[in-house]
Amino acid sequence: MTIKDTPEEWEIRATETPFVGNKTSVRTDEVVMPDGSVVRRDYQVHPGSVAVLALDGEDRVLLIRQYRHPVRQKLWEIPAGLLDVPGENPLHAAQRELYEEAHVKAEDWRVLTDLYTTPGGCDEAVRIFLARDLSEADGERFASEHEETDLEYARVPVDELVRLLLAGDLHNNCLVTGVLSLVAARTGDGLDALRPADAPWPARPFES
């Protein structure tokens, strides 16, 4: 048996979209089960996201603290954002988010990991990049709005982040997944063996 996620699509008898929001929507599908029964499945339709684990020369990760209304908490996170344009190159989106949220640029980019955030109720796919060789971006800072006007910043050593997330003090999925993937990559074949930044992404195909 090969341990690998594979594409599959069960028959859909009917579908509707009862809610359409600014960036996402909710879809209801009537799906045929293996036993022949038909059940309704509601899920959020999401354009996809990118996130950036930016690692500086002192082995610290760039973090942003942001208010997240659905969970009523301020969460420490890594820079991230939506794939606003269908077919957008995820690397370009990640570079944009790192600039807009932190006014930072990076010379070395790798794919750290890909994930589905909540596959039981949302089709959001996220690609997490590792960015190294950091420096301050050129030009003026991006004009922020809404929650982003209240951002806080920190650079935290990797070892300290591991301790904090295992203690239950950090909860953002991209931060937790990114940090643990970084540690795993280091103990495996090393960071330079990670996939290139333009590696294919079947969950969100893109133009080069």
- Which positions are annotated as active-site residues? 148
Core vs surface per residue 161-179: b (16+ CB within 10 A) or e = bbebbeeeebebbbbbbbb
180 and 162 Cβ atoms separated by less than 8 Å: yes
Q: CA angle 182-185-187, nearest 5°?
A: 110
The three-class DSSP label of residue 63 is strand
Q: What are the strands of the beta sheet with 152-157, ordered from one edge?
A: 73-77, 60-68, 152-157
Q: Alpha helices, DSSP H only, in 103-193?
A: 158-166, 173-187
Distance set, CA 146 to CA 66, 134, 140, 150, 173 (Å): 11, 27, 19, 8, 22
16 and 30 Cβ atoms separated by less than 8 Å: no
- The C-alpha atoms of residue 6 and residue 43 are separated, in whole angstroms, by 20
